[in-house]
Structures are given as structure tokens and as C-alpha cells.
Structure 1
Amino acid sequence: MHTILESSPEFKALDLGFKEAAERLLQRLEMPLVEVVLEADREVTRRAIEENSIYRLKEGCLRCLFRGKPLCFFDEGDVIGLGMSVTSPYFELISDFAVLAEKIPLDEAHKKILSSEELFGVYQEVLALHQHRQAALLAMFAEPEVVLAPNLKSIAAGQTIIEQGGQAEAVYSLIEGKAEAYVDGVLVGEIQQDDIFGMLAVITKGLRTATVIAKSDCVVLSVPPEKFIELINTRPAAVLSMIEDMARTITELNAKVVGAAKGNTRTIF
């Protein structure tokens, strides 16, 4: 799971605990997992209700909305349907791209769980961890100082996110997927999940210095320049990481310039 707002170490521990407990339960159920494709632009909550199934995601991600607002993303390894209130009118799971998943029938799983004291104990642990995780997730969005209303975009592999020479209309954070940066058609770097990019042109009020292209299907968070300070407040670790990368790049460039200068220095007698 990836949250829109930056999560605490305690929340990450809850998320990891839920995943481990859910995986342990699926293994002990010893039920065959049927591979299915969740179509793009589909409300997965409706399908989960119709099929009465548990899903484990293999490839791709699902966008989770709470009262119509982005809450988080579920990705590879996440289990959907164990403890999740998919019937709640407040939660929606959306597949922006086709998602590969594995499913097992919920009714059959429940029969096995109720027939085994050990399985029932693990199931209770899953439910408890889910409730704690969900409460912690919603609490993040209940903070009065959080006013960021980001624009989430789904970008297909091969599409351009930023065009070199273009106007700086937003700062971006890569929520899901991978992207590549090109300068004058030459690959200069790769953008990973949680990286922030497009900030330099916003700060300098200049034109874009590189083109960024989605290497895989991506989900990006887009924030206009005037809202950038709110992005710093909500994802400080990501911003700090980006600043450290920029500082490291500048240091490396300075070293190259100094080295080149020394190489061209002539001794005058």
C-alpha cells in the first residue's frame, strides 16, 4: 500500500503486519488461487461483491477512494477482501489500468476458517490489523492542517509526462511505476516510486530542462507551483530525498568541472 500523504513508521509497521498475517492465512487455507484480470477503468469493489472473492494483486495497482477523494494505492502483494469493507458506500477501488490478480472464493474461505481454531485465530489477527491500519490511514487525512488537494493522473507506458522546453505548470511525485528523464533525446536518469520531479523549473521560473517519459504504467501526483509548499508539508521525506539527490548531482558536476579545469591547466614559467 502507498498512501497519498507521507506515512509514519508506525503506519508502515501496521501495513507490513497486515500483509504478513494475510499471506499467512492464505497459505494455511491451502486453496487454489485462480489468476484473473481486473479490467481497466473498472470499479473493483463492485466486482468483488458480485464474485464474493478475495484478491491478491500480482501486477498493477488499484486506486482507493474514500468519499470520492484519493486515499491510497494497493499494489503487488496486497490482499483485497480480507477485512476490507468492500460493501461500504464510502470506499471505492478503481483500476486505472488492467491489473493481474489471484482470487479465491470468499464463502469457501470462510467455511475453512470457521472449521479450524488455528485458522480462525489468524483471521481474527488479520481483522484486528486491518481495523488499526484503516483507522490510522483515515486519521492522517483528518489532520486540520492538511489541505492539499492533489491532481492524480494515470499515465500509460510510453507517454510523455514533462516536455523539455515546456512551461513549468506543476511539480510531480511518482506514486506508482517508473519513468525516465531525457535531455536532447539522451537518457540521463530514471525516476523511481516516491521521487519528486519537475521542481527545478518551478523554483527558477524557467522552462523545462528535460523530457520525462513513463517507462511503465504510472500514477503521478501533480501539484501546481503555488501549492508546492503543501507538498513539502505532506511528503517531507520525499522532498528531502530529492534535495539530497540534487546536491549529490551538483557535487559530482563540480568535481568533473574541477577535474577538467586541472587537466587543461598549463604551467607557465
Structure 2
Amino acid sequence: MYLLTGNNEVGPALTRRLQQLSLLLFAELPAPSASVTLQAGEAVDSAVPADHWAFLSGGQVRGIQAQQGVVEYEAGDLLGLTGGYALPDFSYVAQQPSTLNLYPVGDVLRHLHLSKQRAAQWTAYLLTHISLLQQTVTGDASNAPTTGSGFLQFAPGEVMIREGELAGEVYHVVQGHADVYRGDTKVGEVLPGELFGAMAMLCGTPRTATVIARDDVLVAAVPQDDFQSLISRHPETAVTLMENMARAINDLNDRLRQHETTTL
């Protein structure tokens, strides 16, 4: 999957991340309920039931909005993500002979939540998908502001969020690494593909830690409304996030106790 609009480094980075997650998530799917082959110019919509997702196993399909091509899908991509929930979606048209494997949405979701690790990867997939599609409205990421929604860039040593501040977004790391501090104590790190800032968003509390860029970091800022929409459409995502946060809190408490012990 790649965007037909925009020309910057953010889109390809997100596309690579989406491809990596797709391989992890969908490689072991069971046999599809059906397969359909479309010729160039044929519409996909009529071939895919509303309660199904389609995986493109061969060919190329274009996502169209307002009569304009927006996204190009390739083998291994998932089509109809929002349409599977009866929400607005692209129109899809085959660009060449293309084969689609069809799965009921419920069957795919059960597969994705067979383990906590896979559920966490699914959360990352959804956020990466949102981040990639934001490219169609945010334009060139190199012109992105240093605050607010969209794609943000941070230099080494720059504070990304500060402990005690009010939360407005959840952040998904596209590139780079960051360190997490409580006061002056380092209590964790954030790696590429991970998200941070969700605890304050979910709990309605100020930020519980400060996050500082370790090297050049590029993040996608997911606004509160988009994040809440994601949670409402995929409530299992909230469970995964809360489990991850609980583990992070335990790790943080352990590190703080170790710090207190060494300073006595």
C-alpha cells in the first residue's frame, strides 16, 4: 500500500512499517471463505460483502475518493478496513487482473487476538494505517509544525512530551528512539513502531512522564478525536493498551525502587 499523493520521506517509511506488520499479522491466516478474480477496470466493492475484508493476493487495486486516486494497493494488502464496520471507505478499482481472498471480519479479528503480542501488533497496524492516510491531508511532512497534529520531527535532546502537561495526542514513532524519564530518573525507552502518550489520553490525566528524543525522531501525532474513534471501532485495542500500560507501570515502579535503593 502506498499513497498516490504527496512526495516526502514519511510515506515510504510508514509504508515499510505497514508491510512489516502485515507479514507478522496475516501470514498465518486460515483458508479464505472465498476468492474472486477481477479484470482491469472492474470495481471491487460489489465483489466484497459488507461484513468481509479482502486481502489482495495478486495484482494491483486503486483506492479512489472523490473521483481521485488516493492509495495504491499491492499483493499482501488489506482492503476495506473501515468498510468492514459499515463506515465510509474508499471505492476500489482493479488496475490489472487481481485476485482477492475474502474473510469474514469476525474471523480475522479472532485470529488477530489469539495472543497479546499479535493484538499489540494489530494496534500498531491500525495506528500506522491512520498515520499513512493522514498524509493525504497533511501534505509534505518536511513542512510540518513542531506542535499540533500531523507529523512532528524532534532533534536529539528535544523534549517530546513533558511530565505534568495536559494530553492532546497519542504519538506513534515512525523513526528514531526516545528515552522516558520520571523526574531526573530514566525509567524506559520508546522504540520505532511503538506508541506513547496513551495513558494520559485514556485516563484523562496529565502526562505521567517526560519523553526526550535520543536521536532524530519522527512521530505521527494522532489527535484525541481520531484516537477515540479508533478505540470505539476497535474496543479490543483499549484492552491491549491498558495491559501494555500496566506492564510499563510495573517496570517504572521497579526502576524507581532500584534508584531509591542505590541513592540511600
Fold match by TM threshold 0.5 = no
TM bracket, shorter-chain basis: 0.3 to 0.5
TM-score by length of 1: 0.44
